Structure 1
C-alpha cells in the first residue's frame, strides 16, 4: 500500500505505452477498452489512497529512496489526493465520451489523453517545484496535440496562441526556479518553507522577484486577468472530451497558487508572508467580472461554458487571496463542483451541436434537436448547478464561499461580485436554453442521436452535483481537514524533512 502514491502517475503512463503497442494499437475497440478500464482502475486506486491518507495522515514517497530535500518527493495529503480523485472521476467520464467515436477523428487520442492525466496527477502530487515544472510540461505537451485533435482552422489558430503563451510561461517558470534555487539552495517545497523564513535581508528582494514570477506563471496557467485571453477560444475550439478534461487544467494553476503561497510564502515566511495576496484579490475579482461579461456576450454555447470556467477561476483565486483555512476549504469544495459541472456542460454543448444541423451550438434559431427531453433535462441540471441555485452543489459551494469571507471590506466586494455574477449566469443560461431548445427554424432533419456511452458520460459527471449535496456534511469536513493540513506547515516539514521549522 505504501507504493500506492505512485499509481496515479505510473498507471496512466504505462496505459499510454500499452495502447501504442500491437495488437492493441491496431484495434479501435481494444484501445477504447484498455483506456476506459485503466481509468476506472485508477479511480478505485486513488479512492483507496484517499482512505489511506484519512487513516494515517499526510504521506510522502521518496523515489529511489532518495530522501528530501535531495530526491524526488511525492506528497499525498488530503488536498492533493482529493484533487487527484477529481481528475480521475473527470477522466473516466471524458474518456467514455471520447470512446463513442470522437477518438477516431484523429491519431493517438488515447495515449495523449493518458499522458495528460499523468501530468495533471503528477502536478498535484509533487512535493518539489522543479518536478512541478516537469509535470506541467508533460501535461502541456499532451494538451498541445489533443487541442488540434481532428484538425480544423479554428483549432489550429487557438493552438498557436495556446502554445506560444505556455512556452513563454515555461521560460518564466525556469527563470523563477533558477532565482529561487540560487538564493535558497533548494526547490523542495517543505525545505523552501524552512529556508525562506531564515533568509538574510540581502536575499529578500531576489526571492521576492522569484516568487512574483511564479505568481505570473501560475496566473497564466489558471487564466487570471489579464492573462486570461487564451482560454475562451482554446476551450471552445477543443473537441468535447478534450474540453471536458481541460476543465481541470486551470485548477492546477489555482492549486499551485494555493500550495506555494500558503506553504512557502505563508504566515511562517517572515517578511515575505502573504506576498501574493495584494495582487491576487483584485485580479480574482476582475476575472469574476470579466467572466460574467463573457457569459452575456457569448454567441455560442461552447464559448459561454468557457467563460463559466473563467468565472470559476476568478472565484477560486479570490478565495486563495484571503489566506484563511475557511477560504481554502471553500475553494476545495467549489473546485470539485465547478470542474465537474462545466465539464458536463462542454459535453452537453457537443450533443446539442450534433443535433441542430448547421446552427450547431450557436445561439441563433436552428433546427429542433432530435432528443429535446433528454438534452433539455441535462442542460437544466447543469445550468441550475453552475448558477448556484438550490438544491444542487453550486448552492452549497457558494454558501461556503460567502461564509468564509470575514473581513468587512473583502465581504463587500466579494459578496457583491459573486451574487451579481450568479444573477448574470442565470440570465445568460436562460437565454441560451431558450434559444437552443425553443427558437426553432427550418424543417426537421435526420441527425445522429446521443450514443449510450455519451449519455453515460454526461450523467456520470452530472451525478456528482446531487451527490455533493447529499454528502455535503462529510465532504465539508474533508475540505476543512484538507485546509488544516495545508496550513500546518510545521507538521509537513517535520514529516518530510524530519525536523521542526525554526521560527
Structure 2
C-alpha cells in the first residue's frame, strides 16, 4: 500500500493541529511552519500526478480495512490533478497572507491548514460519508477564515454563508442516510454496483437521494439559483482568503463530476445519467446570471466574484455535454479559471490599498501610485478571464466550443459563451477605466505596494501564459484523465473490495 496517498491529508492535519495547540508561538514561527507545510504539499502532489499518470487506480485503505467496510482514499488522474491545483494556489495565497493579512485575527494559519485538509480530503476520498466529513471540515474552517479580521460586511456575508451551508449539510446527511439505508454502503465504487442492481421499488428513492445530492453540490458549486451567497462572501473576504476560496466552488463541481460519472453514471441501469438533463439548463442560466451580475457590480471585488459564477456556468456546461473532448476542455479551463480568479482577487486588494476609503468601489478615486504596473496586471487579467488570445482562457473556451459539436449544445453554447465573453470584457473595461483613468489629481500619502504581495499576485498571473506554453503536455494528461473517467470498469472493480 502506497502511503504517499494519505500525505495530502496528514500534512495539513498535523500542521494545523500543531499551530492550534501552540497558539503562543511567535507570528514568525507560525508563518514558517505554515509555509513549510504548504510548500511540502507541492512535491507530494506532483509525485501523485506522476503516479496517477501511469494509468492505474490507487486505493488506500485506512487501518487496512478493505472497502466497502473501511474508509478508503482513491487516487486517479482527476484527484491528483485537483491536489496539484490546490497546492499551487495555496502557496501563492499564503505568500500573500504572510505580508500582514494573517495578523488581522487569531489562528489564521491553523485555519488555513484545516481548510487545505478539508479540500484535499474531499478530492481524495472514495466514500460519500467521508466526502460529507471533509466538506464539514473545509466549511468550518472557511466560516472562520471568512470572518477573519472582522468588519460589518464580513459578518453579514458570513452569516448568510453559514446559514445556507448548514442547511446544505443537513440535506447532505439526509441524502447519505437514505443511500446507506437502501444500498447498505457509501463506498462510491460499491454504490455504483448497487445502483446498477437496484430494483424498481428502490430506484425512485435512490433517484430522490441522488437529486438531493445534486442540490447540495450545487450549493457548494454556486450555480443558479444557489449562487447568491457567493458574491457577498467572496467580495468581503480578505484577499488571500478570497484567493483560496477560488477552489471552493471547484470542490462542488468535482463532487458533481465524481458522483454523477461513477455512482449515477452510464452503468447505473435505470438510474444512469441521473443529473444529466438538469446540468445543461443550469449551466446556461448560471453563465448568463454571472455575466449580468458582473455588468452590474459596484466594486472590483464583487465584479471578480461574479466572474467566478461565470466560470462555474462555463465548467458546468462542459460537464453537461459529458463527452471526453468536453471534459478535457473543461479541465483545462478549470485550471485556468481557478488561478486567474485568485490572482484577480489579489490584484483587487493591491489596487484597493492605493485608493484609501474608495478601496475597490468603481467610482472616481485618487490617482494610483503605480498605475502602469497595476494597470498592466489588470490588462493581463482582463484578457485572460475574458478568454482573449493568446492566454489560456482563449484556448480553454475554444476547446469547449469545439467539443460542443454542431447540435443543440453548439446552438446554445456558442452565442452565450461569446456574448458572455464580450460582456465580461465590457465590465472589465468599465472597471479599468474607472480605476486607472478617471482618477483625481493627487495620490494618497498612505498608498503602498508591498513587494511580497506583488510577487504572489504576479506569480499567479504567470500561470496563465505557462498553461498556454505547456498546452500540449497538459492537454495530453487531461485527455487521459477524461478517458479514465469514462472507463467505469476500472472503478467498478474496486467495489466491494474486489
Q: Is the TM-score greater than 0.5?
A: yes
* Residue 18 (structure 1) aligns with: 18
Alignment of 1:334 onto 2:333: yes
What are the within-5 Å matches in structure 2 for residues 60-459 of structure 1?
Answer: 60-406=59-405, 408-441=407-440, 443-459=442-458
C-alpha separation between the residues in 1 aligned to 2:305 and 2:317? 19
C-alpha separation between the residues in 2 aligned to 1:407 and 1:277? 19
* Residue 489 (structure 1) aligns with: 488
Deviations 1:116-151 (A, max 9, x none): 011001001100000000000000000000000000
**Alpha-carbon distance, 1:492 to partner:** 1.4
Where does structure 1 lack aligned partners over 5 or more consecutive residues?
Answer: none
**Alpha-carbon distance, 1:451 to partner:** 1.6
**Alpha-carbon distance, 1:37 to partner:** 2.0
C-alpha separation between the residues in 1 aligned to 2:55 and 2:123? 19
What are the within-5 Å matches in structure 2 for residues 470-489 of structure 1?
Answer: 470-489=469-488
C-alpha separation between the residues in 2 aligned to 1:286 and 1:55? 38
Q: Secondary structure at the match of 1:248?
A: helix
C-alpha separation between the residues in 2 aligned to 1:98 and 1:252? 22
Counterparts in 2 of 1:25 and 1:383: CA distance versus 1, 3 Å = farther
C-alpha separation between the residues in 1 aligned to 2:439 and 2:403? 44
Root-mean-square deviation over aligned CA pairs: 1.2
**Alpha-carbon distance, 1:443 to partner:** 2.4
Q: State the TM-score, normalized to the length of structure 2.
A: 0.98
C-alpha separation between the residues in 1 aligned to 2:334 and 2:457? 18
Q: Secondary structure at the match of 2:74?
A: strand
**Alpha-carbon distance, 1:442 to partner:** 5.1
Q: Secondary structure at the match of 1:355?
A: coil
C-alpha separation between the residues in 2 aligned to 1:111 and 1:475? 33
Q: Secondary structure at the match of 1:75?
A: strand
User: Is the contact made by 1:58 and 1:75 (CA closer than 8 Å) also made in structure 2?
Assistant: yes
Counterparts in 2 of 1:407 and 1:261: CA distance versus 1, 3 Å = farther
* Residue 9 (structure 2) aligns with: 9
C-alpha separation between the residues in 2 aligned to 1:21 and 1:159? 25
**Alpha-carbon distance, 1:91 to partner:** 0.3
Counterparts in 2 of 1:13 and 1:424: CA distance versus 1, 3 Å = same
Where does structure 2 lack aligned partners over 5 or more consecutive residues?
Answer: none
Q: Secondary structure at the match of 2:418?
A: helix
User: Is the contact made by 1:60 and 1:496 (CA closer than 8 Å) also made in structure 2?
Assistant: no
C-alpha separation between the residues in 1 aligned to 2:93 and 2:206? 40
C-alpha separation between the residues in 1 aligned to 2:429 and 2:38? 35
Deviations 1:207-243 (A, max 9, x none): 0000000000000110110111111001000000000
**Alpha-carbon distance, 1:493 to partner:** 2.0
